[in-house]
Amino acid sequence: MFKKVFFQIHWFLGITAGLILSLMGVTGAIYSYDQQILKWLNQDSYVVEVAQTPKLTPAQLYQHFNRQQPEIEINSITIASDPTTSSTVNIKKEGARRGYNMMVNPYTAEVLPDIKGRDTLQFIQRLHRNLTAGEFGAQITGASTLILIFFVLSGIYLRFPKKHSFKQWFFIKPKLKGRNFIWDLHAVVGTWMVVFYLLFACTGLYWSYDWWRAGMFNVMGVEQPQRNQQNNEHSKDKQPELQKQQLNTILTHTWNGVNAQIGREYSSLTLNIPKHDDAKIELSFVDAIPQHERARNQAIYNYQDNKFEKFELYEQKKLNEKIMSSMLPVHRGSFFGSTYQFIAMLASLAMPLFFVTGWMLYLKRRKQKKLTLAARQSLNPQQIDLNTKPWMITYASQTGVAEQLAWRTATSLQEAQQPTIVKPIQQLTEQDLQQAQQVLLLISTYGTGEAPDLATSFSKKLMQQDLDLSQIQYAVLALGSKEYPDSYCSFGYAVDRWLKQCNAQPLFDLIEVDNASTNDIQRWNQALSNVTKHELNAMNIDKVFDQWTLSQRHILNPNSLGEAAYHIELTAPHDVTWHAGDIAEIQSGNNVKEIQNFLIKYQIPSQTIVESLNQNIEQALWDKNLRVDLNAFSNLEELLKQLPVLPTREYSIASIPAQQCLRLVVRQKRDENAQLGLGSGWLTEFSQLRDPISLRIRTNESFHLIDDNRPIICIGNGTGIAGLMSLLQQRNRQNYTANWLIFGERQREHDFFYQETIQAWLNMGTLQHLDLAFSRDQEQRIYVQDVLRNKAEELSKWVEQGAVIYVCGSIEGMATGVDQALIEILGEEHVDALRQAGRYRRDVY
């Protein structure tokens, strides 16, 4: 929860203060090279032709301007050692606190052209420091700089302590698309910029707040200079003022004496024009190769005694003193050298990137929420016949199919002006049933004939009561799969029997739906049309398959006692997203040999074109059931009409979109004739690498990962590790570490799927607990439910702390055993309460 709050604050400040910081970043980058820009724009002011005569001394320049422009007041004169560099005369100017720099020819004293671009750069500086809004703007930029520190620290916190490789932390992944690429760009580049932005912020606040500046001096152990300018002026008032003729002599003696005694090369030397006759003149000089542009040496020269009274070299200062006396170079990066300064400038220019990508992520998140809300509110207001009895529509769904059909049924009835109420069966009460007159029940069967997880309370409580429901007219749509004949639609039939026992009147006989068959759904639609006397719009479960590519496949359990299990990787040619816990539905196909045998049997040339499909017959038969009895046919179209499409197969997804591929764990299955199953054969053997695979992602909300940092307990066996891997991958990405994995298989040596990844998660803290149950590694067989019983006390503690339990794998043996173990440890009522609260979630088969 703490991390979630940090995230909310991070993005809220990002889409607000981010604009100010972007402006500060761009203007700061420009101003960090202000001197270089001015020199580049003003070559005729900074560079002169070398003359045969020596450069004019400060005394000569002072004397020249005293004669030519006696009205100006000179503050200082700077002479450069480079013969091609102009001299600088700083004069007093109203409104300029530090005076105005006048560039002059060092050989003739000619005033050179005024500096172009100086006003523009000063405007950029004001924009950077206070948005050109004075003290009010300074408060905004100061607050934004404090927020930048929060951005850096919260960004690190939101990524850390996620244990990634160096490549994952610091390299952008160009193969990512859409939101994943934007997030990666935002996070990875942000990680690169951590040092720069912290330094920018901490040094920038030096000019924003007195308390911050004082704190920096305290932390650095440097005494803060006191502003005693007024006192100095009062003391100097007691000294007699110098006459201009005296100044010529003083400047001449000083210039000669300083150059004779300085004892080191310099690139430029500045003499401050003294105002009082106190025998002292202040000067500064820059070394021939300075550390940075503000690395000035300070000195005081006594022109009466012809010696230095103070001689303070910048290079001899301690590091902390250097830093505190050079805050601007530290801020812009020149303190650390030209290379660092250039990189710092790029980092500053990159500031808008985070504002833009942050907004893009925010807008995408907002759009997704709107789409989700629209899906949940898909019923459009219709004109309702008020004289018609309302229909109560309830559903028992595990993977969402029954729920989807319930809402489509409601939409279809509303379009026919029939009033409807839609409720999940777990929210249905005895009072609801006693007040209802027309009830439609869309009921899925789960596992080995059981109620869906969320419908267990209805099954155990309401269905155990003998109610008088004689006022109800009802209909049941039972969903199941004929591939499991022993349990086909059994919970739907159980609900139907119970309603009849309660004297409810069926509107028509129960309708079975085999694997969301369109024909079966249309029978339901037609039956409702007959009852309501209205023509209802057709409804079905749309299945649109995308073409993915089989990009990788390898066996996970060589030499295992069990059937071979394969790691499958699929890639999509476009941006696809899904949630941890979702399901991949695969359209299975026929292997080439079976298609060829079929064509030989019916004497059909393999390259014959099916005109209506514009493809050859081999291609047309790839997804058809070739094992049905056929009637005579006169053309290929008649043949294809007799061949039903092969059933699809569903697999838990073992990866998340950020991993740039969709991963499955598929175990080979064989029938009584030792033939490979449709789905497992198609994915593990018949398809070849780079072949297209028809796949659609089906949302599986009942197994989705919680979006907070509550603990989770993942329990599974065999290929059920797939669904659990996606959950743990997402938790790892979210930096949530309260995770417990309990996994079972046959032998550790052969069947420990994804051992390296799981062990790495354990080592770096993504997993707090890992418990394994390899049933064949000891004489007494141990299963995951046995682990639960052995860890009963720990399990109870985790559940008390709000843990959510996820179970994925085979329902026979494992899931049933886990359910029984949980009831023994926690109590049946507690387990049912966990189901209803969404804290006991299963994806079992």
Residue of 567, 814, 553 whose CA lies nearest to 666: 567
CA distance 744 to 517: 35
pLDDT above 70 covers a percentage of the chain that reads 92
Longest Cα separation, the chain:
127
Mean pLDDT of the chain: 88
| Structure tokens given for 290 | 């300075």
Strand, helix or coil at 706? coil
Q: Residue 790: which H helix or E strand, with range?
A: helix 784-790
User: Looking up tokens 């690429």, which residue turns up?
Assistant: 181
User: Looking up tokens 């542009």, which residue turns up?
Assistant: 293
Beta strands in 378-518 (DSSP E): 391-396, 420-424, 438-444, 473-480, 505-506, 511-514
Please name every residue paired with 296 in a beta bridge, in sequence order, or none if there are none: 286
Q: What angle do CA 452, 453, 458 make, to 5 degrees?
A: 80
Q: Is the peptide bond before 225 cis (omega within 30 degrees of 0)?
A: no
pLDDT tier, 450 (very low <50, low <70, confident <90, very high otherwise): confident
Residue 641 identity:
K
Q: What is the pLDDT of residues 762-786, one digit of tens each?
A: 998 999 999 999 999 998 999 999 9
CA distance 496 to 478: 9
CA distance 746 to 717: 9
Q: What angle do CA 585, 587, 588 make, to 5 degrees?
A: 120
Q: How far apart are the first and last CA of the chain?
A: 33
Q: Within 13 Å and on the Cβ side, how many CA atoms surround 739?
A: 28
Residue 470 identity:
S
Beta strands in 225-275 (DSSP E): 266-272
Please name every residue paired with 547 in a beta bridge, in sequence order, or none if there are none: 694
CA distance 792 to 376: 39
- The secondary structure of 91-135 as a DSSP string is EEETTEEEEEEEEE-TTT-PBPPPPTTHHHHHHHHHHHHHTTSHH
Mean pLDDT of 587-611: 88
Under 8 Å CB-to-CB from 535, ≥6 apart: which residues? 416, 529
User: Looking up tokens 């023994």, which residue turns up?
Assistant: 824
| Structure tokens given for 616 | 């050859």
Residue 773 identity:
A
Pairing of strands 840-844, 804-809: parallel
Beta strands in 194-256 (DSSP E): none
CA distance 725 to 238: 84
Residue 258 identity:
V
Q: Please determine, for residue 753, whether its predicted confidence score (pLDDT) is greater than 70.
A: yes
pLDDT tier, 365 (very low <50, low <70, confident <90, very high otherwise): low
pLDDT at 230 (0 to 100):
43
pLDDT tier, 167 (very low <50, low <70, confident <90, very high otherwise): low
Under 8 Å CB-to-CB from 245, ≥6 apart: which residues? none
pLDDT tier, 369 (very low <50, low <70, confident <90, very high otherwise): low
pLDDT tier, 318 (very low <50, low <70, confident <90, very high otherwise): very high
Q: Please determine, for residue 379, whether its predicted confidence score (pLDDT) is greater than 50.
A: no
Strand, helix or coil at 153? helix
pLDDT tier, 594 (very low <50, low <70, confident <90, very high otherwise): confident
Q: pTM for the full model?
A: 0.54
Strand, helix or coil at 809? strand
pLDDT tier, 614 (very low <50, low <70, confident <90, very high otherwise): confident
Mean pLDDT of 228-245: 56
Q: Please determine, for residue 701, whether its predicted confidence score (pLDDT) is greater than 60.
A: yes
Residue of 543, 547, 491 whose CA lies nearest to 517: 543
Q: Are 13 and 147 in contact (CB under 8 A)?
A: yes
Other beta carbons within 10 angstroms of residue 650's beta carbon come to 15
pLDDT at 386 (0 to 100):
64
Residue of 708, 707, 767 whose CA lies nearest to 743: 767
CA distance 803 to 795: 9
Residue of 612, 615, 618, 614 whose CA lies nearest to 635: 612
Q: What is the pLDDT of residues 94-150, one digit of tens each?
A: 878 889 999 999 999 999 999 999 899 999 999 999 999 989 999 999 999 998 888
| Structure tokens given for 37 | 């820009």
Q: At what angle do helices 134-159 and 118-130 cross, to 10 degrees?
A: 60
Q: Please determine, for residue 396, whether its predicted confidence score (pLDDT) is greater than 70.
A: yes
User: Looking up tokens 């070394």, which residue turns up?
Assistant: 287
| Structure tokens given for 342 | 């250039």
Q: Please determine, for residue 674, whether its predicted confidence score (pLDDT) is greater than 90.
A: no
pLDDT at 370 (0 to 100):
60
Q: Please determine, for residue 235, whether its predicted confidence score (pLDDT) is greater than 50.
A: no
Q: Are 189 and 172 in contact (CB under 8 A)?
A: yes
pLDDT at 700 (0 to 100):
87
Q: Are 84 and 50 in contact (CB under 8 A)?
A: yes
Which of 155-164, 421-430, 798-807 shows the lowest mean pLDDT across its residues?
155-164
| Structure tokens given for 475 | 């209909």
Q: What is the pLDDT of residues 455-505, one digit of tens each?
A: 888 988 899 999 999 999 999 999 988 877 888 999 999 999 999 999 999
Burial class (CB in 10 A: 0-12, 13-18, 19+), 166: exposed
Q: Within 13 Å and on the Cβ side, how many CA atoms surround 342?
A: 4
Q: What is the DSSP letter of 624?
A: B
pLDDT at 168 (0 to 100):
65
Pairing of strands 438-444, 546-555: unpaired
> Buried b vs exposed e over 555-586: b needs ≥16 C-beta within 10 Å?
ebbeebeebbbbbbbbebeeebebbbbbbbbb
Give 100-108's long-range contacts (Cβ < 8 A, gap of 24+).
103/42, 103/45, 103/46, 104/61, 105/48, 106/48, 106/55, 106/56, 106/79, 106/80, 107/48, 107/51, 107/53, 107/55, 107/56, 108/51, 108/56
Strand, helix or coil at 743? strand
Residue 495 identity:
V
Strand, helix or coil at 454? helix
Q: Please determine, for residue 4, whether its predicted confidence score (pLDDT) is greater than 80.
A: no
Please name every residue paired with 771 in a beta bridge, in sequence order, or none if there are none: 742
Pairing of strands 391-396, 438-444: parallel
CA distance 783 to 163: 30
Residue of 581, 840, 838, 568 whose CA lies nearest to 727: 581
Q: Residue 262: which H helix or E strand, with range?
A: none
